[in-house]
Amino acid sequence: MARLVALEVHVLTKKVTFSHRWLPYLLVAPQIAITLVFFIWPASQALYQSVLRQDAFGLKTEYVGLANFAKLFNDPLYLQSFYTTITFSALVAGVSMAVALVLAVMADRVVRQATTYRTLLIWPYAVAPAVAGVLWWFLFNPTIGIAAYALDALGYDWNHYVDGGDAMTLIVVAASWRQVSYNFLFFLAGLQAIPKSLTEAAAIDGAGPLKRFVTIQLPLLSPTVFFLLVVNVVYAFFETFGVVHATTDGGPGQATTILVYKVWRDAFQGLNLGSSAAQSVVLMAIVIALTAIQFRFIERKVEY
Amino acid sequence: MVERRPLLLFIQHAVLIFGAAVFVFPIYLAFIASTHTAREVNSGLPLLPGGQMFDNYATVLGEGLSTAGAPPIGLMLMNSTIMALAITLGKLVISLLSSFAIVYFKFPFRVLAFWTIFITLMLPVEVRILPTYEVVAQLGMLNSYAGLSVPLIASATATFLFRQFFMTVPDELTEAARIDGAGPMKFFRDILVPLSRTNIAALFVILFIYGWNQYLWPLLVTTDESYYTIVMGIQRMVNAGEETPQWHLIMTTAILALVPPVVVILGMQRLFVRGLVEVEK
Amino acid sequence: MTLTRSATAVAALMALGASPVAAETEIQFWHAMGGALGEKIEEIAAGFNETQDEFTVVPTYKGNYTENMTASIAAFRAGEQPHIVQVFEVGTATMMAAEGAIKPVQQVMDNADITWDADAYLPAVKSYYTTTDGALLSLPFNSSTPVLWYNRDLLDEAGIKDVPQTWNEMFAAADKLQASGHECAFSFGWQSWVMLENYLAWHDQPIGTKQNGFAGLDTELVFDESEDLTTLLQRIADSQEAGTFRYGGRRGDSLPLFTSGECAMWMNSSAYYAGISDQAEFEFGQAMLPVNTDAAETAQNSIIGGATLWVLEGHPESEYQGVAEFFNYLSSPEVQADWHQFSGYVPITTAAYELSNSQGFYEENPGTDTAIQQLSLNAPTENSRGLRFGNFVQIRDIINEELEDLWAGNKTAAEALSDAAERGNALLREFEGSNS
């Protein structure tokens, strides 16, 4: 779901508000307490880690300043991982939105059966990433996978263990799978909210289905498109480590080592807490940047 | 339909049917695997159901998976349900309350409270999981339902979405309530919460699935098998090292594990979809 | 019915009478064995628990090797650590460097009130886990070594009578296979372990300086200096063109290539025995790894993989008595032989091997002693006793990545190996920095 932040200069309230001496504090208390104990405190420890060099067990600790960061940005492979992540995110957002949009437009047009199709397309959203990984492994295994077999029959020698392009395709497909369900729901709802009178009027003027889509429906969908763009990019950036973990392990070579997978791997497998923490600080900076972009475009241009 | 174009209509259905088929295919495959024997699954998966369905499901549900190295499936399903529900309800309650406070009250430290909550959106869970574990251990919450669920409640997704929705609620309603002499909690209970019904439904679905699908966190905080969740159980069966995983039973379990989230989604589909769209608007 | 019931009642009463207050001390044991092996561990623990009533060993599955190790370390940092944790061989350096967190097994056994002989273990198994002055750090538990798996039916069809013993024979066999219409001759898994670490040990060449890291943290990787390894890997990469070699992924992901009959030979852990017999619909066998005659006339010995049991600090001294007793039970020939025969792991004590032999296990399952013969072919040298590099989990990933670049044709063997060594050395320096 959206790791979406309204970065507002003024944190808005209603024009009409209640006033009470202690009630608001009581209301925010549970969430503040849980956040402080289970988020702020551990997260600040993670941030503190980024300026330390420490062995895995926490027995020897040394303050190293910004050395962890310096090392990161001097590492060509880390920079390459940025590039991989951007490619991956663009592909996931593009593919999952395009496919979802096509399906939603079709479903919107077959009014009566729309709900049936929606029911069918909603399923992948419920599958746990840990289970989805197993399913993709089965489908694309170069030796016993059905998808690999079908591609082979079409004359394409699929082997994501060797070919970086194949591996990227695999994680894009696997990551988009679930996201298409999600995008589809939004697009369909957005389309159904567009008054039928508008499209009907255009039809009477002789505009064909494609023209009506481009001139009427698409502009009216633009807030949804923009919202989903941000959500999908954020999803691809931060919530896809499970997909990579279950399918390619970041390989072959470093072809599918995206940033969040690297953070996870360096912390969990490499037990390199300092570097991993430094990477997460960089990721935080990216989230803040994405948030700022979202604020500039969505909160300003799109009127709610 | 604005006009009748049989060819277009045909194409539309064809695209949709094809799309739906492609998207459901992996799940179909899991189901197929759950109807065959181990050997059939391992030598390249067939495309049609086999005759082992009842045996496999009976094995998984009846004897449990002791030979595949996991605790009884009923217990794991129950643990998953408890964890998912606790996370969902916990998040909903604290988020409704805190976003109500933030939107409808002006009070000192309001902005600070806002940011304290919202900053949780900014750090990937995987990164802070080890220090979070230490906190949970120090509080003595390992091997408990509280340890499984409470730390995952610390996220602002729901708060953010409720806030967005509350901002769209017409001020006239608040005015009217105040003129009627209704206190804030009465307004909250009688007007705001009922208005948020579809949003609550949408978040319920999203959060339930989020909670149900957790893997790394339950793995860390439990050592007692009586707290294992179903997703952990599946991973344990998959992770057979140099042995052959029992794919037919794994897929049977995977299908069973899929039932509760799918029931939740389908059952709440209408509200879910409406809520999603209202929230984001 | 009545009889059983009263028997149960009596047993319950006796149990109550035996320990009215003092509950048995629990020994926590975190392991990474899913599937049927996990069940087996529970069976072994239950077996131990029945032999005495002072301690209860509680085995807990904590995910795969990586997850189990991370969970244990996280638990240690929080003061909730188990007594015993199963760690894979490449985690050895990390565990060893954690002085104050681990309790060397030698010390646990020496302090405890039992008789125990470390020399009961096979030298090739033991040497991997001992300090340079011979003290055992962790208890070998599940060990394996790479062997050459072959598809007898395919070799017969191609008219290959003897299983290749050298790399030249491997390539000659590949030609024969292709002449008979079969494309893929061989594949392998766990490539760093099989084709690099074991290749070098097998030919008595160093993987890194300082006795492969045993003698100090200031060790450096030198595997890129082996010319015969470079030439061989290049030859393998080039043979992909003809389809002789097919790369099937990291770890055991290439297993289906062998079991489906696509590739005639497969080099990987001997512990795949159960998996292969489950799936293969052809006659198969295991043989020793091929020798590269450009490098050595005969083989040295192979090195092990798998995991050992480490003891963590921070529990009352009395509880370590329970750990020691459990370890002693684990090492007994009966338990070891049973574990070996059930799992396909190498028997790690000489007595367990002999017991299995006298039980006729190797006669009934021909080839299952290949691993142990490879391991004990010669007394281990500095090059073949194993390796001890920090951050080795990541270094293996680097080697995976660089070799994949070789298989994909992005790099030559020389480039891939030297890049792997360079990147690996950077991680070794980092490990040295944070542990000294």
Distance (Å, rounded) from C-alpha C122 to C-alpha C140?
10
Instruction: State the DSSP string of C268-311.
Output: EEGGGHHHHHHH--S-EEEEPPPB-TTT-SS------EEEEEEE
Given a contact cutoff of 8 angstroms between Cβ atoms, the answer to whether A241 and A264 are in contact is yes
* Residues in chain B closer than 8 A to C278 (CB atoms): 38-39, 42, 244
Per the CB < 8 Å rule, is B157 touching A124? no
> Domains in chain A: how many in total?
2
Q: Is A58 on the interface with C (CB under 8 A)?
A: yes
DSSP state of A253: T
Per the CB < 8 Å rule, is A143 touching C77? no
Using one digit for the tens of pLDDT, what is the confidence trace for C167-182?
999 999 999 999 999 9
Q: Is residue A8 part of a domain?
A: no
Enumerate residues 6+ apart whose C-beta is below 8 A from C91: C65, C69, C392, C393
How far from C432 is each of A117, C69, C344, C424, C425, CA to CA, in Å? 59, 20, 36, 12, 10
Enumerate residues 6+ apart whose C-beta is below 8 A from C112: C320, C321, C323, C324, C325
The residues facing C31 across adjacent strands are C61
Minimal C-alpha gap between B275 and chain A (Å) = 10
Reported as type and span, the H/E element at residue A188 is: helix A164-193
Distance (Å, rounded) from C-alpha A193 to C-alpha A224?
11
Q: Is residue A11 part of a domain?
A: no
Give how far the C-alpha of residue C417 lies from the chain's centroid of Cα atoms, to the nearest Å: 24
Average pLDDT over residues B208-223: 84
Least confident of A197-211, B178-192, C3-17: C3-17
pLDDT bracket for residue B161 (50, 70, 90): confident
User: Do A109 and A141 reside in the same domain of the chain?
Assistant: yes
User: Do A144 and A192 reside in the same domain of the chain?
Assistant: yes
Q: What is the CA radius of gyration of chain B?
A: 23
Exposure letters B252-281 (e unless 16+ CB within 10 A, then b): bbbbbbbebbbebbeebbebbbbbbbbbbb
Residue B277: its pLDDT value, please?
62
How far the first Cα of chain C sits from its last, in Å, is 67
* Residues in chain C closer than 8 A to A60 (CB atoms): 434-435
Q: Is residue A63 part of a domain?
A: yes
pLDDT at C105 over 90: yes
pLDDT at A287 over 80: no
User: Do A270 and A297 reside in the same domain of the chain?
Assistant: yes
- How many C-alpha atoms does C217 have within 13 Å on its Cβ side? 19
User: Do A166 and A140 reside in the same domain of the chain?
Assistant: yes
Enumerate residues 6+ apart whose C-beta is below 8 A from C225: none
Q: What is the CATH code of the structural domain delimited by B73-280? A: 1.10.3720.10
Distance (Å, rounded) from C-alpha A141 to C-alpha A164?
15
Average pLDDT over residues B206-227: 84
The residues facing C268 across adjacent strands are C147
Distance (Å, rounded) from C-alpha C68 to C-alpha A152?
38
User: Do A88 and A178 reside in the same domain of the chain?
Assistant: yes
Burial (CB < 10 A; 0-12, 13-18, 19+), residue C15, is: exposed
Using one digit for the tens of pLDDT, what is the confidence trace for B165-196?
888 888 888 888 888 888 889 999 998 999 88
Which domains occur in chain C, in start order?
A: 2-144+304-364 (3.40.190.10), 146-302+390-434 (3.40.190.10)
Residue A241: its pLDDT value, please?
79
Given a contact cutoff of 8 angstroms between Cβ atoms, the answer to whether C78 and C101 are in contact is no
Given a contact cutoff of 8 angstroms between Cβ atoms, the answer to whether A34 and B97 are in contact is no
Using one digit for the tens of pLDDT, what is the confidence trace for A61-106?
889 999 999 999 998 889 999 999 999 999 999 999 999 999 998 8
Residue B146: its pLDDT value, please?
92
User: Do A123 and A261 reside in the same domain of the chain?
Assistant: yes
Per the CB < 8 Å rule, is A11 touching B132? no
User: Do A51 and A180 reside in the same domain of the chain?
Assistant: no
Distance (Å, rounded) from C-alpha B267 to C-alpha C95?
50
Least confident of B65-79, B82-96, C74-88: B65-79
Provide the 3-class DSSP secondary structure of residue C31: strand
Provide the 3-class DSSP secondary structure of residue B59: helix
Provide the 3-class DSSP secondary structure of residue C141: strand
Name the residue among A89, A82, A87, A91 with its Cα closest to residue A233.
A89
Q: Is residue A120 part of a domain?
A: yes
Q: Is residue A9 part of a domain?
A: no
Q: Where in A33-156 does DSSP place strands (E)?
A: 52-54, 61-63
Q: What residues in chain C have their Cβ under 8 A from chain A's Cβ atoms?
A: 66-67, 69-70, 73, 76-77, 94, 97-101, 247-250, 253-254, 256-257, 260, 262, 391, 393-394, 397, 400-402, 404-405, 407-408, 410, 423, 430, 433-435
Percentage of chain A exceeding pLDDT 70: 91
User: Do A104 and A225 reside in the same domain of the chain?
Assistant: yes
- CATH at residue A162: 1.10.3720.10
Query: What is chain A's length?
Result: 304
Task: Report the residue from B23, B95, B234 with minimal CB separation from A130.
Answer: B234
Query: What is chain C's length?
Result: 436
Contact residues, B window 225-264, toward C, CB-based 8 Å cutoff: 225, 235-246
Q: Is A142 on the interface with C (CB under 8 A)?
A: yes
Give B1 or C334, the one with higher predicted confidence. C334
Nearest chain A residue to B264 by CA distance is A126
User: Do A43 and A143 reside in the same domain of the chain?
Assistant: no
Q: Is residue A225 part of a domain?
A: yes
Instruction: State the DSSP string of C351-411.
Output: HHHHHHHHTTHHHHSTTTTHHHHHHTSS---TTTS----TTHHHHHHHHHHHHHHHHTTSS
The residues facing C56 across adjacent strands are C26
pLDDT at C121 over 50: yes
Q: Is C69 on the interface with B (CB under 8 A)?
A: no
Minimal C-alpha gap between B51 and chain A (Å) = 20
Task: Decide the pairing of beta strands C139-144 and C305-312.
Answer: antiparallel
Residue B121: its pLDDT value, please?
66
Name the residue among A160, C130, A123 with its Cα closest to residue B27.
A123
Average pLDDT over residues C221-230: 96
Minimal C-alpha gap between A58 and chain B (Å) = 12
Task: Decide the pairing of beta strands C263-269 and C146-151.
Answer: antiparallel
pLDDT at C135 over 80: yes
Nearest chain A residue to B167 by CA distance is A14
Residue C21: its pLDDT value, please?
43
* Residues in chain B closer than 8 A to C279 (CB atoms): 39, 42-43, 244
Distance (Å, rounded) from C-alpha B200 to C-alpha B209?
14
* Residues in chain C closer than 8 A to A254 (CB atoms): 401
pLDDT at B154 over 80: no
Residue B90: its pLDDT value, please?
95
Contact residues, B window 75-134, toward A, CB-based 8 Å cutoff: 93-95, 97-98, 100-107, 110-111, 113-114, 116-124, 126-128, 130-132, 134
Q: Is B137 on the interface with C (CB under 8 A)?
A: yes
DSSP state of C99: B
Per the CB < 8 Å rule, is B69 touching C80? no
Task: Report the residue from B130, B137, B243 with minimal CB separation from C37.
Answer: B243
Distance (Å, rounded) from C-alpha C123 to C-alpha C118?
10
pLDDT at C47 over 80: yes
Q: Is residue A193 part of a domain?
A: yes
Chains near A with 3+ CB pairs less than 8 A apart are B, C
Average pLDDT over residues C193-201: 96
Q: Which two tokens stand for residue C244?
A: 């002789």
pLDDT bracket for residue B4 (50, 70, 90): low
Distance (Å, rounded) from C-alpha B193 to C-alpha B187?
9
Task: Decide the pairing of beta strands A52-54 and A61-63.
Answer: antiparallel
How far from B54 is each of B26, B34, B57, B67, CA to CA, in Å? 21, 9, 5, 18
Q: Is C80 on the interface with B (CB under 8 A)?
A: yes
Per the CB < 8 Å rule, is A162 touching C433? no
- Domain residue spans of chain B: 6-67, 73-280
Per the CB < 8 Å rule, is A129 touching B215? yes
Minimal C-alpha gap between A249 and chain C (Å) = 9
Minimal C-alpha gap between B177 and chain C (Å) = 51
Nearest chain B residue to A32 by CA distance is B117
Residue C80: its pLDDT value, please?
87
pLDDT bracket for residue C193 (50, 70, 90): very high
User: Do A111 and A38 reside in the same domain of the chain?
Assistant: no
Q: Which two tokens stand for residue A287?
A: 């989230």
* Residues in chain C closer than 8 A to B130 (CB atoms): 70, 74, 77
Per the CB < 8 Å rule, is C247 touching A265? no
Per the CB < 8 Å rule, is B240 touching C80? no
Per the CB < 8 Å rule, is C250 touching A54? no
Residue C152: its pLDDT value, please?
95
Per-chain mean pLDDT for chain A: 83
Given a contact cutoff of 8 angstroms between Cβ atoms, the answer to whether C165 and C370 are in contact is no
Average pLDDT over residues C422-431: 92
Per the CB < 8 Å rule, is A56 touching C94? yes
Q: Is residue A2 part of a domain?
A: no
Contact residues, A window 102-141, toward C, CB-based 8 Å cutoff: 141
Q: Which domain holds residue A274?
A: 69-301
Per the CB < 8 Å rule, is B113 touching A6? no
Task: Report the residue from C33, C39, C63 with minimal CB separation from B219.
Answer: C63
User: Do A82 and A61 reside in the same domain of the chain?
Assistant: no
Residue A10: its pLDDT value, please?
45
pLDDT bracket for residue C4 (50, 70, 90): very low
How far from C12 is each of C1, C8, C19, C56, C58, CA to CA, in Å? 16, 6, 11, 18, 21
Q: Is C274 on the interface with B (CB under 8 A)?
A: yes
pLDDT at C72 over 80: yes
Per the CB < 8 Å rule, is A42 touching B45? no
Using one digit for the tens of pLDDT, what is the confidence trace for C231-274?
999 999 999 988 999 999 888 888 889 988 999 999 999 988 87
Instruction: Give the other-Cβ count within 10 Å of A146's Cβ.
Output: 18
* Residues in chain A closer than 8 A to B135 (CB atoms): 37-38, 41-42
Average pLDDT over residues B253-278: 81
Per the CB < 8 Å rule, is C73 touching A271? yes
Average pLDDT over residues C369-377: 91
Using one digit for the tens of pLDDT, what is the confidence trace for C381-413?
999 999 999 888 889 989 999 999 999 999 999
Name the residue among C387, C393, C414, C391 with its Cα closest to residue C402.
C414
Given a contact cutoff of 8 angstroms between Cβ atoms, the answer to whether C73 and C313 are in contact is no
Q: Is the peptide bond before A219 cis (omega within 30 degrees of 0)?
A: no
Give the CA angle between residues C85, C91, C92 to the nearest 5°. 85
User: Do A217 and A248 reside in the same domain of the chain?
Assistant: yes
pLDDT at C94 over 90: no
Given a contact cutoff of 8 angstroms between Cβ atoms, the answer to whether C135 and C104 are in contact is yes
Task: Report the residue from A143, A266, A272 with minimal CB separation from C257.
Answer: A143
Given a contact cutoff of 8 angstroms between Cβ atoms, the answer to whether C431 and C221 are in contact is no
